[in-house]
Structure 1
């Protein structure tokens, strides 16, 4: 469904057609594919009556979480599991990943959400990063590394709670994640692939079961 937008936006585009995408109906071209910016635009211009994902005075905290998720989790996990990266760099990347998870673990403590008493964009960013970490990046880490990643009980309990929330788990397409991973990934599978951290199917099934039903005339 997104392929025509990418083809119209870049001549002879051969990369993946990934969501999210903000497109212009008139030109048929992509305006942005940067998730955090798209989320901000939607929240600020069409957020009436919905939870405030960007509450006042929380912007700097949300931006800090976005950087931690992008650099400290996503990029670090990719480098930690990359077969073409020297061992010393992989070890340093794993240290960065574990350090970031440790900071987030201490920040959560016994709180239900990350920076507020309600869901914010920081929770959206972190939850997506944790889903990717367990369903994609884990496959390229060794078992010992995955056990160290899993050794953050507050963080993974938080991920489990959000997975059972209808706004999160009911929209998680695990099969699509697996298809995209297998189609794009060129890395080697490691022993960590056998060490699942969360049972996402069970928790997302709970979210789907409590998902509000829309009555149609």
Structure 2
């Protein structure tokens, strides 16, 4: 297996700095008033992509405007300089990176939350209105499966510093998770019940990352084993053709962000694309 070094810039996930919540009434402090709040998102970031899709599904363009950020953060510490004033207004002498995503309160000029799962739930709960009900009871288990068993396992399976046994174990975990989802999706359209939910948003963004980011650090044989889940990838194609999903897919931005932040090694699997994401997104746009 040939390997080519990518940029050696840390890409470790950072714990959220702010976890305020939107409430249902004025007593909560952060009451869900239309046009009071603003999202700051980069769709090249998996969490930003998840929130952007949720925002579109709930049709919140008027109720909660979005400021779109560049794919690659421009601050040397990995943050966005445009977000620095919000962070400094929200925490005295804040010295950490000004990371996206951010849900900000335009009335106070302060950050409400930087925690993507909370933001998605609060948008649905506070502003959902007549939009789809995105959070049935079993979404949390599926979200956990996506993050822990797919995303983290994929990272470990392609980690340059890991030994062969550790990478093999991570690949087994990844394939087991994909197999469970393959069986769940056989003969059904959605992951949870009979309608689109947040679990579908979570899994779709995870599959995007698996193909556009993590695949580049796996060998070709491993990628071919990932491909061998026809129901799962047909599901990914179908969601990509949905305007609320495909319209936010910034493949060039994802690639630039990956190369700017990745510390791993490029492997033979980089040449084995699983889906033609751009073509499926364009097919959905053509139907609008």
The answer to whether the 8 A contact 1:5-1:28 is kept is no
CA distance in 2, matches of 1:30, 1:77: 32
Q: CA deviation at 1:14?
A: 4.2
Question: Which residue, out of 20, 40, 47, partners 2:128?
Answer: 47
Question: Which residue, out of 100, 114, 127, partners 1:33?
Answer: 114
| 2:100 paired with 1:18 | yes
CA distance in 2, matches of 1:163, 1:190: 26
CA distance in 1, matches of 2:195, 2:262: 36
Partner residue of 2:243?
166
Q: CA deviation at 1:173?
A: 1.1
Aligned residues, how many? 205
| 2:225 paired with 1:142 | no
SS at match of 1:31: strand
CA distance in 2, matches of 1:106, 1:168: 23
Listed as ranges, the gaps of 5+ residues in structure 2 are 1-68, 70-79
SS at match of 2:111: strand
SS at match of 1:112: coil
| 2:262 paired with 1:194 | no
CA distance in 1, matches of 2:234, 2:200: 13
Partner residue of 2:81?
3
SS at match of 2:179: helix
Show CA shifts across 1:95-144 (max 9, x none).
Answer: 11000000011011110111122110010000000000000000000001
Higher RCO (CA-CA < 8 Å; seq separation 6+): 2
Partner residue of 1:215?
none
Show CA shifts across 1:151-177 (max 9, x none).
Answer: 000000000000111111112111111
| 2:169 paired with 1:87 | no
Root-mean-square deviation (Å):
1.7
SS at match of 1:50: coil
Q: CA deviation at 1:30?
A: 3.2
Q: CA deviation at 1:205?
A: 0.7
TM-score by length of 2: 0.67
| 2:112 paired with 1:112 | no
More off after superposition, 27-36 vs 123-132:
27-36
Runs of 4+ with deviation above 4 angstroms: none
Partner residue of 1:203?
280
